[in-house]
Amino acid sequence: MRKSFHALFTFLVLAIVLAGCSSKEEKANTDNKEQSEELQTVEELKIGLPTDVGPLNIYTGNLDYLTELVYDKLFAPSPYVDEPQPWLAESAEQLDDTTWIVKIRSGIKWHDGEDFTAEDVKFTYEYYRDGPANRHTHHVSEVPQIDVIELEDENTIRFECGYACPSLDTITFADLPILPKHIWENVKNPRKYTDLAVGTGPYKLVAYTADQSYKFEANTDYFMGAPLVQKLNMPIIKDPTAMFNALRSGEIDISARTVPAELQDTFVKSNNMKVAETSALSIVELKLNYDNAPFNIEKFRKAMSLSVDRQSIVDTVLLGQGAAGIKGYPHPDSPWTNPNLSTPFNAKQAQSIFDELKYVDINGDGMRETPEGKELKLSLKVSSSEPVYVRVAEMLKEQFADVGINVEVVTLDAGTMATLFQSRDFELSLGLIGPHGVADPDQFIMSHRATYLWTKGLEYPEMDTLIQKWMAANTIEDRKQISFDMQTLFNNQPTSIALYYPEEKFAYNKDVYDQWVESLGYGIINKYSFLPQEVRDAVAAKPATIVE
């Protein structure tokens, strides 16, 4: 199945390239070609961004949907689908448990006019493996571990892993953006690199002004076909109210910030607006700092999870527009997630566990003390710039109080919240984790080795045994089943409690552009929304679902 689809995909790519050289009078003979000719071309789109991530240096800031406009990967669209297809790669073949051969496409150019070559791929993977860490690098250095990266010839690369790597094409090759060697080989400290990103993607980043805007121009020579929109102008609008006011007034054509429940009807009923719903691969989570008591106790973490009425949060704060996190972590829409996961609400069982652990109310004030008789007061940190999260935090405070756990909500600015992961200066924190964290199966392993869900070397024998079995497994199906066991173990004593799975609803001006497609995990603001129909079909990007 995979080989035949790869062959079809390669045929489609060739067709796109040849079409660019054909006479305009040549008649189309396929439905895809007819659809492609019907797509509207637009001179400029204005897209409001809720945050600034710098000049798209993947070492210092990431919005994957922006990075994807500039950079390409060996496979596409992402690790979040069952079968990513060759992109910069022409093909990938697994020779044995640990060896893969990749052939790259020829004739592709970097945005500065230099040729894209296999040397760029070799350099990128070695740079990720041997240099400073970024959000992509574990896919080379540890999970999986690629020991050998060698050129077989000018278009062929051999990858040899340190242990079995059956999903190298579907996960690693579909996640790592390829860097231009002629630029990055001179970058000694990537975290200080501030030049505009240069890639092979459908758009060139031509201007960036900190905290103000991004400007992109179409790469008309793009090997997958010229983009439908010539210019993308992206003002940075951090305040939610200002963002949606800008959309109403026509200052922007679409908001990259999703529409909150209370504003949805306003845009649905507007004559020139539409609201598109996508399958969000993200989780609003309550993180527990397992480094410190009482969260270093497995049963305490389980009791905390049992105390949370997730459906009540969705009904009250989100007005029903979201899914309660009763399936736990990772995201249930990922093809890599155990469909039988369950994280129920059971306050009575939670109270029994707290009692068993000797966290009881000694002084009769309704709140539990520690086994040593000391006050138990936990702080829950949340960003003051996310009003929905603040309301969720207040509901959690009430729910924990119902089982005798005293929680204080502490609001912090967004910058301070962003440092909590590194500083570990929190007891409880509330925020969102996106697709890379909750839909990439390799990242689930890495998150248990990189302090996010757990820390490598910290005692966790049951999980360590499963990870060793996972590393030894040499088929994707075996890996998946072991991952399912790991997920069950994790959700029974979570360090991250899935509160809800947000709905992503994007409001946009249909009179300006109405050809948005969904790429799982990227919403509708993704490169495929701007590419020809043949390419959309090849990567299974489906038209956005419109809210009526």
Strands (E), 223-362: 229-235, 254-255, 273-278, 283-288, 322-324
Chain centroid to CA 216: 22
pLDDT at 345: 98
Which of the two residues, 81 and 481, has the higher pLDDT score? 481
SS3 535: helix
Query: Taking 70 as the threshold, does the pLDDT of residue 195 lie above it?
Result: yes
Query: Taking 70 as the threshold, does the pLDDT of residue 163 lie above it?
Result: yes
Query: Taking 90 as the threshold, does the pLDDT of residue 493 lie above it?
Result: yes
Q: How far apart are CA 37 and CA 34, in angstroms?
A: 5
pLDDT at 17: 44
Q: How far is CA 257 from CA 31, 243, 495, in A?
A: 34, 8, 28
Phi, psi for residue 229 in degrees, rounded to 5: -115, 125
What is the average pLDDT across 12-39?
Answer: 44
pLDDT at 375: 96
What is the average pLDDT across 400-429?
Answer: 94
Query: Taking 90 as the threshold, does the pLDDT of residue 41 lie above it?
Result: yes
pLDDT at 25: 35
Average pLDDT over the chain reads: 92
CB 472 within 8 A of CB 163: yes
CB 491 within 8 A of CB 484: no
pLDDT at 464: 96
pLDDT at 275: 97
CB 257 within 8 A of CB 280: no
Q: How far apart are CA 169 and CA 68, in angstroms?
A: 18
**Selection from 163, 153, 160, 181 nearest residue 90 by Cα:** 153
Token pair in block for residue 136: 């992509």
Query: Taking 90 as the threshold, does the pLDDT of residue 536 lie above it?
Result: yes
Query: Taking 70 as the threshold, does the pLDDT of residue 14 lie above it?
Result: no
**% of the chain at pLDDT higher than 70:** 93
pLDDT at 63: 86
β-pair partners for 504: 278
C-alpha R_g of the chain: 24
Which distant-in-sequence residues (6+ apart) come within 8 Å of 244 by Cβ?
Answer: 255, 257, 259, 263, 507
pLDDT at 114: 98
Q: b/e string for 414-434 if b means 16 or more Cβ within 10 A?
A: eeebeebeeeeebbbbbbbbb
**DSSP letters spanning 83-131:** --EESSEEEEEEEETTEEEEEE-SS-B-TTSPBP-HHHHHHHHHHHHHS
Lowest mean pLDDT among 12-26, 94-108, 480-494: 12-26
For 273-287, what is each residue's pLDDT tens digit?
A: 999 999 889 999 999
pLDDT at 261: 86
**% of the chain at pLDDT higher than 90:** 84
In degrees, rounded to 5, the angle at the alpha carbon of residue 144 between the alpha carbons of residues 140 and 149 is 45
Token pair in block for residue 274: 């539409």
- Is residue 74 very low, low, confident or very high in pLDDT (cuts 50, 70, 90)? very high
Q: Helix crossing, 347-356 with 298-306: angle to 10°?
A: 160
Phi, psi for residue 43 in degrees, rounded to 5: -70, -45
**Selection from 66, 418, 104, 371 nearest residue 236 by Cα:** 66
pLDDT at 421: 82
For 426-455, what is each residue's pLDDT tens digit?
A: 999 999 999 999 999 999 999 999 899 999
Q: What share of the chain is helix, strand, coil (3-state, %, to 5)?
A: 35, 20, 45
Q: How far apart are CA 337 and CA 158, in angstroms?
A: 30
pLDDT at 16: 46
For 447-463, what is each residue's pLDDT tens digit?
A: 999 899 999 999 999 99
For 218-270, what is each residue's pLDDT tens digit?
A: 999 999 999 999 999 999 999 989 999 999 999 999 999 999 888 999 999 99
pLDDT at 80: 92
Query: Taking 90 as the threshold, does the pLDDT of residue 381 lie above it?
Result: yes
pLDDT at 418: 86
Q: How far apart are CA 209 and CA 87, in angstroms?
A: 31
Phi, psi for residue 350 in degrees, rounded to 5: -60, -45
pLDDT at 35: 43
Domains and CATH numbers, the chain: 72-192 (3.90.76.10), 203-280+503-546 (3.40.190.10), 283-502 (3.10.105.10)
pLDDT at 29: 37
Query: Taking 70 as the threshold, does the pLDDT of residue 22 lie above it?
Result: no
End-to-end CA distance of the chain, in Å? 37
β-pair partners for 412: 383
